[in-house]
Chain A
């Protein structure tokens, strides 16, 4: 079962969703049901921290895609933090989500925060 925590980060109006453990079909409804909670009124950016995820099946990928579809639809920036060279990173690369679908991927929270700040300065 995946452990899901929602918290604030160092960038204003950005929420971070931290997932850890194994993500499978039984977690999908719970994780997707969190989206309204993530999208607080002032939220304009979401970071999904996947560094603690040890396994993610297609239900987890579906959830990520669901987040991205919904956030994109309402114009909210989304970034993911994935452990480099991990099985999950390889899987996400193979799925082409990074290059083609639009989720920006970083290896640490700091990197993600810096990227969001830079993006806002543009």
Chain B
């Protein structure tokens, strides 16, 4: 509760108490006055009763009207007093009622006496008068005494009541005063305590703040005037702190400004020293691009002194050009002023000094801004990079050189890979032509092989317009001496056919072929020139670089090796082909036997394969049938083929059974072959008279016996021959009927592929089942055609197929 409210409540309480006291006093006075009056009335009545008693005696004695009147007057006086009597309690009322009753009875007695005195007829004797008088006196005395006694008693009661009122009033006064005093004292003490406590807090807070602690704040515990005072006190403290802080900041700012001024001064000194000692040229301009300051290096590089340059347009002092075009370079200052960003100098910028000295420079130009961001000038920083540029140019040159060499190496590696792929001479020459055109960008090339015996050059590969076709030959010695020197000197040469050194005849020939400048490179293998490689751009004076020559020479060296290898391979192949051709020869016809056969080498990897077949008569209607596959390729395979074929023939003629013959062939091959070489072979002895076929299949795909009833696979599980010694071989037998066909094949048939899928045994059987009408002589070609159709003509292995049937009906086998 607020203190003000407390005071108001106290005042109201005090007023109420005083009002109650005043009312009580007034009421008491009034009550006492009323009781005094009632008491006087009662006393008056009591006295009147005494007088009436006297007047009654007097009347009774004298019986005169005067006494009567006096008595009646007095009685009336008492009646008035009785009328004024206001009893305030039942007890008083009873007494008052008794008095009134006695008063009325007194009147009645008196009136009776009075009437008796005036009635003459009824005049009693003396004795009777005395008795009457006595009786009447007694009656009136009784009434008068009763009235007096009651009046006296009533006055006494009223007096007691008056005392009681006074006493009660006094008690009330004391109680009220006591209660008010207690309230006042308590209220006073509480308010005083609160005030004193709060004042003490304020006093303590004042001391704390006075000591300089402006962070102090009084704890506001109350919501009254003291609380407001505490708030105001705290606000005052905060304001004081703010004022103090502002003052401190002001002092700090003043100190900082002083320090900044000192720093600025020092910075100006440092800037001056720095600009003087900096390694780069520095030029500062105003917003109009007029020179304001330039340091010592800038003076040196531009040839202008500070005094000469100050106020001059920058471009007059800072004269820059493009090193390559020699045109004025873009002005970086204007750009920096316009764009407000740092601008770098364009590459290849050169500074022309006042004395005409030219230097390569680099670096940048940056705008200078005022505090409000407005551009007030630019600062141009530049340095002499002439030496650095020379180093960079050298580095770039070396880098290009390394890159060129790396590229050449990569191209040569690629060329080596490409040239290694083909194994035939034409393939090598075609690849060589493509590679050289690819890496040099030339549009025409001719590769000519030299026949040293005839001195003829033969075109082996050609690309481009008006080029001599492949296979065309010409006399080497009729060519330009410059061209011939490539062979004689074994060195590459760039021949300018338009130069005066070239004879007219040769120039005209070159002109007819639209040759202007050509590069000719010898193909050299172990010191021998195998041929010449010539390239040019028809109708153009081709710019042949050292790199081109180096590159083509590298490729030519590899090509020469590949050409020589291809030649050797071709020689070997020719031998192998010849040998295999001889080995694959079968008789044109045999008694009692129909047959067809074929051999095709693989289209991929053109080495001579090891597939072979053989048919030979043994006499007595017996025929030896061989079909095999020698592992490996080339001459070695052909040699092994010869060994197998001749061994089988020899032992067959000697009358051995197939398993024995194959066992002998195993030993022969094992001795003749290198490690791990092996042969799969089917060998059968067919008795054309009985149709009996005894056979041994050593690791070979099963032969297919195609009969009217169906197809039978002649599986016989003997191992391969040639790999291991002392192997055991077995044999089986079956019978052919007329119309049956026995089909032998190598795994080049079943392993022919279309993508990842093989032609397979089942497909071969299906084909034979559906090809029953094909004559036996045509079966091998038909199978081959089906394989080619299946594989898309891409055969990865050699193929040998042999189909046999009996020409006539066999006799009874038993």
Interface residues of A (CB under 8 A from B): 24-25, 54-55, 57-59, 61-63, 65-66, 69, 87, 93-97, 99-101
* Shortest Cβ-Cβ A-B pairs, 10 listed: A96-B719, A66-B676, A100-B719, A58-B631, A95-B699, A62-B676, A65-B676, A65-B723, A95-B720, A62-B631
Q: B187 at interface (Cβ–Cβ under 8 A)?
A: no
Q: Which residue of A lies closest to B723 (CB)?
A: A65
Chain B residues whose C-beta falls within 8 Å of the C-beta of A63 in the assembled complex: 676
Q: Assess the B677–A62 pair: CB atoms within 8 A.
A: yes
> Binding site of B, secondary structure by majority: helix, strand, loop or mixed?
loop
Distance in Å: Cβ of A101 to nearest Cβ of chain B? 6
**Which of the residues A24, A66, A101 comes within 8 Å of B719, measured between beta carbons?**
A101
Q: Assess the A25–B719 pair: CB atoms within 8 A.
A: no
Chain A residues whose C-beta falls within 8 Å of the C-beta of B676 in the assembled complex: 62-63, 65-66, 69
The winner among A65, A66, A94, A101 for most chain B CB atoms within 10 A is A94
Chain A residues whose C-beta falls within 8 Å of the C-beta of B724 in the assembled complex: 69, 100-101
0/1 string, B668-706, CB within 8 A of A gives 1: 000000011110100000000000000000111100000
Chain A residues whose C-beta falls within 8 Å of the C-beta of B720 in the assembled complex: 61, 95-97
Q: Assess the B701–A94 pair: CB atoms within 8 A.
A: yes
Q: Assess the B756–A54 pair: CB atoms within 8 A.
A: yes
Q: B334 at interface (Cβ–Cβ under 8 A)?
A: no
**Which of the residues B678, B717, B797 comes within 8 Å of A94, measured between beta carbons?**
B717
Q: B718 at interface (Cβ–Cβ under 8 A)?
A: yes
Q: B455 at interface (Cβ–Cβ under 8 A)?
A: no
Cα distance A87–B751 when bound, in Å?
10
Chain B residues whose C-beta falls within 8 Å of the C-beta of A93 in the assembled complex: 717
Interface residues of B (CB under 8 A from A): 605, 629, 631-633, 675-678, 680, 698-701, 717-720, 723-724, 727-728, 747, 751, 756, 758, 796-797
Task: Given A94-B717, A99-B719, check contact A58 B727 (CB 8 Å).
Answer: no
Q: Which residue of B lies closest to A63 (CB)?
A: B676
Chain A residues whose C-beta falls within 8 Å of the C-beta of B797 in the assembled complex: 57
Cα distance A69–B719 when bound, in Å?
16
Q: Which residue of B lies closest to A95 (CB)?
A: B699
Chain A residues whose C-beta falls within 8 Å of the C-beta of B698 in the assembled complex: 96
Task: Given A25-B605, A94-B699, A100-B724, check contact A62 B717 (CB 8 Å).
Answer: no
Chain B residues whose C-beta falls within 8 Å of the C-beta of A57 in the assembled complex: 751, 796-797
The winner among A61, A96, A101 for most chain B CB atoms within 10 A is A96
Q: Which residue of A lies closest to B717 (CB)?
A: A96
Distance in Å: Cβ of A35 to nearest Cβ of chain B? 11
Chain B residues whose C-beta falls within 8 Å of the C-beta of A100 in the assembled complex: 719, 724, 727-728
Distance in Å: Cβ of B324 to nearest Cβ of chain A? 52
Q: Which residue of B lies closest to A90 (CB)?
A: B761
The winner among B676, B680, B718 for most chain A CB atoms within 10 A is B676
Distance in Å: Cβ of B728 to nearest Cβ of chain A? 7
Distance in Å: Cβ of A93 to nearest Cβ of chain B? 8
> Binding site of A, secondary structure by majority: helix, strand, loop or mixed?
helix
Distance in Å: Cβ of A65 to nearest Cβ of chain B? 4
Q: Assess the A96–B699 pair: CB atoms within 8 A.
A: yes
Distance in Å: Cβ of B744 to nearest Cβ of chain A? 15
Q: Assess the B632–A62 pair: CB atoms within 8 A.
A: yes
Q: Assess the A97–B677 pair: CB atoms within 8 A.
A: no
The winner among A58, A69, A99 for most chain B CB atoms within 10 A is A58
Cα distance A61–B675 when bound, in Å?
12
Distance in Å: Cβ of B700 to nearest Cβ of chain A? 8
Q: What are 18 inter-chain pairs, A to B, with CB distance below 8 A?
A: A25-B605, A57-B797, A61-B678, A61-B720, A62-B631, A62-B632, A62-B677, A63-B676, A65-B676, A69-B724, A93-B717, A95-B678, A95-B680, A95-B720, A96-B698, A96-B717, A96-B719, A100-B727
Distance in Å: Cβ of B715 to nearest Cβ of chain A? 8
Task: Given A66-B675, A87-B758, check contact A97 B631 (CB 8 Å).
Answer: no
Chain B residues whose C-beta falls within 8 Å of the C-beta of A24 in the assembled complex: 796
Cα distance A55–B756 when bound, in Å?
9
Q: Assess the B675–A69 pair: CB atoms within 8 A.
A: yes
Chain B residues whose C-beta falls within 8 Å of the C-beta of A97 in the assembled complex: 719-720
Cα distance A25–B631 when bound, in Å?
10
Q: Which residue of B lies closest to A65 (CB)?
A: B676
Distance in Å: Cβ of B809 to nearest Cβ of chain A? 34
Distance in Å: Cβ of B576 to nearest Cβ of chain A? 16
**Beyond A87-B758, A95-B719, A100-B727, 6 extra complex contacts between A and B, CB < 8 Å:** A25-B605, A54-B756, A58-B678, A94-B699, A94-B700, A96-B717
Chain A residues whose C-beta falls within 8 Å of the C-beta of B632 in the assembled complex: 58-59, 62
Cα distance A72–B786 when bound, in Å?
43
Distance in Å: Cβ of B752 to nearest Cβ of chain A? 12
Q: Which residue of A lies closest to B760 (CB)?
A: A87
Chain B residues whose C-beta falls within 8 Å of the C-beta of A94 in the assembled complex: 699-701, 717
Distance in Å: Cβ of A82 to nearest Cβ of chain B? 16
Distance in Å: Cβ of A90 to nearest Cβ of chain B? 9
Chain B residues whose C-beta falls within 8 Å of the C-beta of A55 in the assembled complex: 751
Cα distance A96–B717 when bound, in Å?
7
Q: Which residue of A lies closest to B630 (CB)?
A: A58
Q: Which residue of A lies closest to B631 (CB)?
A: A58
Cα distance A57–B701 when bound, in Å?
13
Cα distance A55–B757 when bound, in Å?
10
Chain A residues whose C-beta falls within 8 Å of the C-beta of B751 in the assembled complex: 55, 57
Q: Which residue of B lies closest to A64 (CB)?
A: B676
Q: Which residue of A lies closest to B726 (CB)?
A: A100
Task: Given A61-B678, A62-B632, A69-B676, check contact A101 B717 (CB 8 Å).
Answer: no
Q: Assess the B719–A61 pair: CB atoms within 8 A.
A: no
Chain B residues whose C-beta falls within 8 Å of the C-beta of A69 in the assembled complex: 675-676, 723-724
Cα distance A25–B728 when bound, in Å?
29
Q: Which residue of A lies closest to B700 (CB)?
A: A94
Cα distance A73–B676 when bound, in Å?
13
Distance in Å: Cβ of B763 to nearest Cβ of chain A? 14
Chain B residues whose C-beta falls within 8 Å of the C-beta of A96 in the assembled complex: 698-699, 717-720, 727
Q: Which residue of B lies closest to A22 (CB)?
A: B756
Distance in Å: Cβ of A80 to nearest Cβ of chain B? 15
Task: Given A57-B797, A100-B724, check contact A25 B701 (CB 8 Å).
Answer: no
Chain A residues whose C-beta falls within 8 Å of the C-beta of B699 in the assembled complex: 94-96
Cα distance A66–B631 when bound, in Å?
13
Q: Which residue of A lies closest to B727 (CB)?
A: A100
Cα distance A95–B700 when bound, in Å?
7
Q: Which residue of A lies closest to B761 (CB)?
A: A90
Cα distance A109–B717 when bound, in Å?
27
Q: Assess the B718–A62 pair: CB atoms within 8 A.
A: no
Cα distance A62–B678 when bound, in Å?
7
**Which of the residues A58, A87, A101 comes within 8 Å of B629, measured between beta carbons?**
A58
Cα distance A63–B678 when bound, in Å?
11
Chain A residues whose C-beta falls within 8 Å of the C-beta of B747 in the assembled complex: 58
Chain A residues whose C-beta falls within 8 Å of the C-beta of B675 in the assembled complex: 66, 69
Distance in Å: Cβ of B722 to nearest Cβ of chain A? 9
Distance in Å: Cβ of A100 to nearest Cβ of chain B? 4
Distance in Å: Cβ of A51 to nearest Cβ of chain B? 17
Distance in Å: Cβ of B723 to nearest Cβ of chain A? 5
Cα distance A100–B721 when bound, in Å?
11
Cα distance A54–B751 when bound, in Å?
12
Distance in Å: Cβ of B343 to nearest Cβ of chain A? 58
Distance in Å: Cβ of A104 to nearest Cβ of chain B? 15
Chain A residues whose C-beta falls within 8 Å of the C-beta of B756 in the assembled complex: 54
Cα distance A97–B718 when bound, in Å?
10
Distance in Å: Cβ of B697 to nearest Cβ of chain A? 9
The winner among B677, B699, B758 for most chain A CB atoms within 10 A is B699
Cα distance A65–B721 when bound, in Å?
12
Distance in Å: Cβ of A91 to nearest Cβ of chain B? 8
Chain A residues whose C-beta falls within 8 Å of the C-beta of B701 in the assembled complex: 94
Chain A residues whose C-beta falls within 8 Å of the C-beta of B727 in the assembled complex: 96, 100
